[in-house]
Structure 1
């Protein structure tokens, strides 16, 4: 059971905004589609290097791929 339900990345949101799929992204960055799916659901997070690669492929800043959790209560 998950006790921490925080969202750390917005990869799925940006993909939807660009009408792209997680399968498409997986092919672009040469990763397994199940790995990208887990990033999209925030079950796990990509490495910093991969996050920069995703941002470049999607043509967005790394900041756009990250949630601002500074105002989230613990």
Structure 2
């Protein structure tokens, strides 16, 4: 069973040179939760997605996988 990829949190963390632990501390969540987001096992709520974007200094849409070409 393949995991569908909905978010780019892991990629953006890598681009910013940040670790899962850093993000967990920045938005006050468990590091295991961040790990599950990064592997797309679970997805953050919309509110949390905006918190993640703010912590990483990116637009929230940059954390999502595009499904349709413009």
Aligned length: 69
Higher-helix-fraction structure = 2
Cα distance, 1:6 vs structure 2: 1.6
Q: 2: distance between equivalents of 1:40 and 1:5?
A: 12
Q: Show structure 2 runs of 5+ residues with no match.
A: none
**Considering only aligned residues, what root-mean-square deviation do their CA atoms show, in Å?**
1.2
Shift of 1:69: 2.0
Q: TM-score, normalised by structure 1?
A: 0.87
Q: What's the CA shift string for 1:15-67, capped at 9, x where partnerless?
A: 00011001100001110000000000000000100000000111100110000
- Stretches of structure 1 that go unaligned for 5 or more consecutive residues are none
Runs of at least 4 residues off by over 4 Å: none
Structure with max Cα Rg = 1
What TM-score does the superposition give when structure 2 sets the normalisation length? 0.92
